[in-house]
Each structure stands twice: as C-alpha cells, then as structure tokens.
Amino acid sequence: MKNLVTPASVKGEKLDVSTGKPRKKSKWRTNLSLDLMVMPALILTLIFAYIPMTGLAIAFKNYKPGLGFNASKWVGLDHFEYLFSIPENVQVIWNTLIIAGLKMIAGLIVPFLFALLLNEVRKMAFKKMVQTIVYMPHFLSWVILGGILSDLLARDGGLINQALVSMFGIKPIFFLGDGNWFRFVVVVSDVWKEFGFNTIVFLASLAGINPALYEAAEVDGAGRWQQTRSITMPAMLPITIVVGTLALGNVLNGGFDQIFNLYNALVFDKGDIIDTFVYRLGIVDGKFSFSTAVGLFKSVVSFVLIVSAYRISYKFANYRIF
C-alpha cells in the first residue's frame, strides 16, 4: 500500500488545504464522527456480549429465577466440584475431547490430501466443477443434513443399510442408536460437510508456489512424486501448521448443531458433548447455575487455547488475522 501521509497527518491531524498547517478543530470533529460510526456495533456488543459475561457470576451462586440475582446465595466453587466429582459429567468432557479430537485430525488430513490430488487435475473446467460441488455441503445447515442423514442411515430401509445388506449380507447397522457407530457417523459426516470448504486455504497456498521451482526440478529429472515431496509438501507446511494450530481452539467444541440434530437418548453415554449437556441441563431442566458453571469451564479453557494457538501461529508462521 502506498504511504502518502505527511508528518502532520501521522500525528492524526488533517492539513488545511489553503495554509498547509494542521487544523486543530477539525481533528476532533473527524474523530468524533468515526466514534459515532463504531457506536452501533459497540452498544450492541456491550448489551449482547458483555452483559451476559457479567451473568457468568451465577456459576458461583445458587441462582433461583424466583429469587433474582442478588438474593441468590453464593456457593463458591461448589458447581465446579460437582462437575468433576460425578463420573457421568466427566464422561461428557471425555466425549467432547474424543469427538472434537477425531474431527480435528480427520479435518486436517482429508482437505490436505484432497487439495494435493485436485491440484493434479489439469482440465480447469473439470477442476472448477469439482470445487463447486464439494464446497456446497458447507452451506447447508445441520437441521437439513440431520434430516437427510437420519433418513439415509435409518436401520430399517435407510439407503445406506440397504446397500450394505445387499453387498455384504450383514445385519442392518443401528448407526444412530449405537454409541460407537454414532461417534463414527458424527466424525465422517462432519468431514463430508466441511472437507471441500477447508481445501480452499490449501489450494490458495498451492497456487502461490513459484512455478520456477517445478521447472528447475523438471530439468534435474525429478518425477511428479519427487516434486510433490520436495517442493509442494514443504511449501504447504506453514499453512498446515497454522490450520492445525488454530483448530486447537476447538478442542472442547464437539459441534453443537450437528450432535443436537443427530443424537437421541440411546447415545447420550458416548455422544453427549459439553454444549448439548449445558443446553439440556440449563434450558430444559432449569439448572441455571450448574450449567452456567459447565459453560464457563468450557469458555475459559477454549479462550486459553485460542489465545495460545494464535500466539504460536504468529510466532512460527507469521500469521495474523487483522
């Protein structure tokens, strides 16, 4: 970007066109209208983001809606102790870690490989068409996909079970009613929905590789596999590290929308994650304080992870979002 600023305007002062000297008054006015422009966003943020944060205090209280906030008793860390002392609660944390961890790994490998393979396609029209198709599921909501999946995966007569039974002669699989299969379905369907979209960033980095490198390798007699190993993969390493590190912030994000639209009481033991647990306990059962405590636990851990992830990727790959 060109830098046209004069010394006076560096200090935040606008120059008077006729005299070339800073105009004292207009600097203040200039800033005021900028402040005004940020105000709507700021006010909405204060109301809908910062006020709820103060509401987190009920995690340390025994909040009763009838009593109100002030009259409810302080209980310190009782809710957190309860969270970690009951095996069923700890199981929810484990479920979240397992599902989120598997999603992170699969969600990094599949797009990486797919981008490498798609990069080998030389017919541009074909490449565009594949891209258009694989990006699409990203834009459909989990309500729609949940409806489609539960139809496809139905034990009695679902398209997938029909195919499996006729091909392998096995008994129909209860995909959405068996805990282990449920986890499998959650991870696979998440990859199915997002892998295309997640290749975008890899394809961008592939497009940025200097063609001269390949030409030189060609002259030296390197085959395509050798070129891939020695040029393409090292060139993709930084962005892969960034994507992988940033995904760390999601360690406690099992994917509420997806799980909520696929699960049922049969798979709570292996499929219930923190977010769905908080919803059922807080909103359905009305245990406001305990579920807020669980949510706070998740928010704090995620916050620490995200901030460290950004610091790491800034340090190692010089990545910044703004």
Partner 1 sequence: MYHKTKPYRIFTVFNYILMIAISVLCVIPLIHVLAVSFSGKAAANANLVGLWPIDFTVDAYTKTIANENFTRSIWVTLQRTVLGTVFSMGVVILAAYALSKENARFRRRNLYIWLLVFTMLFSGGLVPMYILMQKLHLMNTLWVLILPGAVSVWNIILLLNFFRAVPKEMEEAAFIDGAGHFRTLFSVYLPVSMPAIATLSLFTIVGHWNSWFDGLLYMTNHRNYPLATFLQTVIVQQDFSKVTVRPEDLENISQRTVKAAQIFIGMAPILIVYPFLQRFFVKGIVLGAVKE
- Identify residues 67-106 at the interface with partner 1 (CB under 8 A): none
Collect all residues with Cβ–Cβ distance below 8 Å to 100 and sequence separation of at least 6: 250, 251, 252, 253, 254, 255, 273
CB of 239 to partner 1, least distance (A): 7
Interaction between residue 118 and partner 1 (CB under 8 A): yes
- Identify residues 280-309 at the interface with partner 1 (CB under 8 A): 282-283, 288, 291-292, 295-296, 298-299, 302-303, 306-307
* CA–CA gap between residue 56 and residue 296 (Å, rounded): 7
Region label for 68, one of left (φ > 0), alpha (ψ between -120 and 50) or beta (otherwise): left
Q: Which of 57, 90, 86, 96 is nearest to 293 (CA)?
A: 57
Q: Which of 237, 232, 239 is nearest to 213 (CA)?
A: 232
CB of 282 to partner 1, least distance (A): 4
CB of 188 to partner 1, least distance (A): 11
- Which phi and psi (to 5°) does residue 62 adopt? -110, 80
Stretch of residues binding partner 1 (CB under 8 A), selected from 37-45, 83-91, 98-106, 175-183: 37-45
Interaction between residue 216 and partner 1 (CB under 8 A): no
- Which phi and psi (to 5°) does residue 61 adopt? -125, 175
- Identify residues 119-138 at the interface with partner 1 (CB under 8 A): 120-122, 126, 129-130, 132-137
Interaction between residue 17 and partner 1 (CB under 8 A): yes
CB of 291 to partner 1, least distance (A): 5
Stretch of residues binding partner 1 (CB under 8 A), selected from 73-81, 92-100, 166-174, 257-265: 257-265
The tokens 């990094």 sit on which residue? Answer: 108
Interaction between residue 266 and partner 1 (CB under 8 A): no
The tokens 């999601």 sit on which residue? Answer: 250
Interaction between residue 159 and partner 1 (CB under 8 A): yes
**Tokens in use for 112?**
């990486």
Interaction between residue 218 and partner 1 (CB under 8 A): yes
* CA–CA gap between residue 291 and residue 83 (Å, rounded): 9
- Which phi and psi (to 5°) does residue 22 adopt? -60, 140
Stretch of residues binding partner 1 (CB under 8 A), selected from 25-33, 71-79, 81-89, 178-186: 25-33
Interaction between residue 176 and partner 1 (CB under 8 A): no
Stretch of residues binding partner 1 (CB under 8 A), selected from 43-51, 72-80, 170-178, 179-187: 43-51
